Structure 1
Amino acid sequence: MRVVRDAGRGRLAAAGLVLALALFVAGWDWGRPLGAGTHAREIPTADAERGLYDWRAATFAPRVAQDKRIVMIVYDDQTLIATRKRSPLDRGLLARALRNLDAMGAHSIGVDILFDQPQDEDNALLAALRAMRTPVWLGYANLGDNREQIIFEQQQYLDRFIRAARTDRVRPASIRLETDSDNVARSWPTPQPGQPPLLALAMRPAAAFADYRGAIRYRLPQPQPDRSEEPVIPSLQIDLIADPAMSAALAPMVRGRDVLIGGDIVDIDQFETPLSGRGAHSTMIGLEVHATMLAQVLDGARLRTVPVGVRWLAAALVVLAAAATSLAELRWLWLGPALVVQAGAIGGLPLVLQANGWDTKGLPAAGWAIAWIFAFTAVGVAARAVTSQQRRFAQSALGKYLPRDIATQILQEPEKLALHGEKRAIFTLFTDLEGFTKLSHAIAPEMVAQLLNRYLDMLSDVVLAHGGTIDKFVGDAVVAFWGAPIARDDDARNAAQAAYAMWQAGEAFRRDLPAGVPPIGRTRVGLHHGDAIVGNFGGEGRIQYTALGDSMNTASRLESANKKLDTNVLASREAMILSGLDWWRAMGRVRLRGRQTPVDIFEPAPDFPAEERAALGHIVAALDAGACRDAALADLRAMIARHPRDAALANLLNRYEHIEGGAYDLG
Structure 2
Amino acid sequence: MMSGLWRRGARVVRDAGRWRLASTLIVLLLALFVAGWDWNRPLDGVSSQREIPTADAERGLYDWRAATFAPRVAQDPRILMVVYDDQTLIATRKRSPLDRGLLARALRNIDAMGAKSIGIDILFDQPQDEDAELLAALHAMRTPVWLGYANLGDNREQIIFEQQQFLDRFMAQARTDRVHPASIRLETDADNVARSWPVPTKGQPPLLTLAMQPSPPFRDYRGAIRFRLPLAHVDGSEAPVIPSLQIDLLADPAMAPALASMVRGRHVLIGGDIVDIDQFETPLSGRQARSTMIGLEVHATMLAQLLDGAKLPAVPEGARWLAALLVILAAAITSLAELRWFTLLPALAVQAGAIAGLPVWLQARGWDTKGLPAVGWVLGWVLAFTAIGVTARAVTSQQRRFAQAALGKYLPRDIAAQILAEPEKLALHGEKRPIFTLFTDLEGFTKLSHAIAPEMVAQLLNRYLDMLSDVVLSHGGTIDKFVGDAVVAFWGAPIARSDDGRNAALAAYAMWQAGEAFRRDLPPGVPPIGRTRVGLHHGEAIVGNFGGEGRIQYTALGDSMNTASRLEAANKALETNVLASRDAMERSGLDWWRPMGRVRLRGRATPVDLFEPAPDFPVGDRAELAEILEAFDAEDGAARAEAMKRLQMLVNHHPEDAALANLLYRCEYIGEGGIYGLG
The normalised TM-score by structure 1 is: 0.57
Where 2:259 maps in the other structure, the secondary structure is: helix
Residue range with higher mean Cα deviation, 26-35 or 309-318: 26-35
Compute the displacement of 1:185 (Å). Answer: 0.7
Change (3 A) 1:39 1:347: closer
In structure 1, the residue matched to 2:661 is: none
In structure 1, the residue matched to 2:155 is: 146
Where 1:345 maps in the other structure, the secondary structure is: helix
In structure 2, the residue matched to 1:323 is: 332
* Counterpart Cα distance in 2 of 1:42 and 1:249: 53
Report the AA paired with residue 285 of structure 1: I
In structure 2, the residue matched to 1:155 is: 164
Compute the displacement of 1:7 (Å). Answer: 2.5
In structure 1, the residue matched to 2:518 is: none
The answer as to 2:187 corresponding to 1:187 is no
Report the AA paired with residue 115 of structure 1: F
Compute the displacement of 1:373 (Å). Answer: 0.8
* Counterpart Cα distance in 2 of 1:62 and 1:383: 48
Deviations 1:481-530 (A, max 9, x none): xxxxxxxxxxxxxxxxxxxxxxxxxxxxxxxxxxxxxxxxxxxxxxxxxx
Report the AA paired with residue 329 of structure 1: E
* Counterpart Cα distance in 2 of 1:384 and 1:191: 53
In structure 2, the residue matched to 1:564 is: none
Change (3 A) 1:383 1:242: farther
Deviations 1:397-422 (A, max 9, x none): xxxxxxxxxxxxxxxxxxxxxxxxxx
Change (3 A) 1:55 1:41: closer
Where 1:89 maps in the other structure, the secondary structure is: coil
The answer as to 2:367 corresponding to 1:338 is no
Q: Do the aligned partners of 2:227 and 2:301 also contact (CA within 8 Å) in 1? A: yes
* Counterpart Cα distance in 1 of 2:93 and 2:344: 70
* Counterpart Cα distance in 1 of 2:22 and 2:391: 10
Report the AA paired with residue 322 of structure 1: A
In structure 1, the residue matched to 2:292 is: 283
* Counterpart Cα distance in 2 of 1:102 and 1:92: 15
* Counterpart Cα distance in 1 of 2:46 and 2:336: 42
Q: Do the aligned partners of 1:75 and 1:263 also contact (CA within 8 Å) in 2? A: yes
The answer as to 2:209 corresponding to 1:222 is no
Where 1:236 maps in the other structure, the secondary structure is: strand
What are the within-5 Å matches in structure 2 for residues 27-42 of structure 1? 27-35=36-44
In structure 2, the residue matched to 1:273 is: 282
Compute the displacement of 1:34 (Å). Answer: 1.3
Alignment partner of 1:168 out of 160, 177, 200:
177
Compute the displacement of 1:41 (Å). Answer: 8.4
In structure 1, the residue matched to 2:116 is: 107
Compute the displacement of 1:39 (Å). Answer: 9.0
Where 1:115 maps in the other structure, the secondary structure is: coil
In structure 2, the residue matched to 1:46 is: 55
Computing the radius of gyration from Cα coordinates, the structure with the larger value is 2
* Counterpart Cα distance in 2 of 1:108 and 1:367: 44
In structure 1, the residue matched to 2:206 is: 197
Change (3 A) 1:42 1:360: farther
In structure 1, the residue matched to 2:107 is: 98
* Counterpart Cα distance in 1 of 2:254 and 2:281: 37
The answer as to 2:362 corresponding to 1:353 is yes
Compute the displacement of 1:194 (Å). Answer: 1.4
Report the AA paired with residue 282 of structure 2: T
Change (3 A) 1:310 1:201: same
Identity %: 80
Deviations 1:344-387 (A, max 9, x none): 000000001111111111110000011111111111121699xx
The answer as to 2:397 corresponding to 1:378 is no
After the TM superposition, list the runs of 4 or more consecutive aligned residues in structure 1 that deviate by more than 3 angstroms.
2-6, 36-44
* Counterpart Cα distance in 1 of 2:169 and 2:46: 33
Where 1:359 maps in the other structure, the secondary structure is: coil
Compute the displacement of 1:43 (Å). Answer: 4.7
Compute the displacement of 1:53 (Å). Answer: 0.7
* Counterpart Cα distance in 1 of 2:49 and 2:381: 26
Compute the displacement of 1:38 (Å). Answer: 5.7
Structure 1 unaligned residues grouped into runs of 5+: 386-667
Compute the displacement of 1:36 (Å). Answer: 6.2
The answer as to 2:269 corresponding to 1:260 is yes
* Counterpart Cα distance in 2 of 1:29 and 1:139: 32
* Counterpart Cα distance in 2 of 1:384 and 1:147: 57
What are the within-5 Å matches in structure 2 for residues 178-577 of structure 1? 178-382=187-391
| CA RMSD between the two structures | 1.6
The answer as to 2:49 corresponding to 1:15 is no
Deviations 1:295-320 (A, max 9, x none): 01101111101111000000000000
Change (3 A) 1:22 1:246: same
In structure 2, the residue matched to 1:411 is: none
Q: Do the aligned partners of 1:4 and 1:382 also contact (CA within 8 Å) in 2? A: no
* Counterpart Cα distance in 2 of 1:250 and 1:164: 30
Q: Do the aligned partners of 1:88 and 1:119 also contact (CA within 8 Å) in 2? A: no
The normalised TM-score by structure 2 is: 0.56
Deviations 1:640-662 (A, max 9, x none): xxxxxxxxxxxxxxxxxxxxxxx
Structure 2 unaligned residues grouped into runs of 5+: 1-7, 395-679
Change (3 A) 1:242 1:150: same
Q: Do the aligned partners of 1:110 and 1:259 also contact (CA within 8 Å) in 2? A: yes
Aligned residues: 385
Q: Do the aligned partners of 1:109 and 1:261 also contact (CA within 8 Å) in 2? A: yes
In structure 1, the residue matched to 2:460 is: none
Residue range with higher mean Cα deviation, 2-11 or 327-336: 2-11
Q: Do the aligned partners of 1:138 and 1:170 also contact (CA within 8 Å) in 2? A: yes
Compute the displacement of 1:5 (Å). Answer: 3.6
Q: Do the aligned partners of 2:49 and 2:190 also contact (CA within 8 Å) in 1? A: no
Compute the displacement of 1:334 (Å). Answer: 1.1
Deviations 1:5-58 (A, max 9, x none): 432222222211111110000000101111169698865410111111111111
In structure 1, the residue matched to 2:73 is: 64
Change (3 A) 1:17 1:296: same
Q: Do the aligned partners of 1:378 and 1:384 also contact (CA within 8 Å) in 2? A: no
In structure 2, the residue matched to 1:86 is: 95
Change (3 A) 1:175 1:36: farther
Report the AA paired with residue 140 of structure 1: Y
* Counterpart Cα distance in 2 of 1:127 and 1:95: 8
Q: Do the aligned partners of 1:34 and 1:43 also contact (CA within 8 Å) in 2? A: no
In structure 2, the residue matched to 1:122 is: 131
Compute the displacement of 1:4 (Å). Answer: 3.8
In structure 2, the residue matched to 1:444 is: none
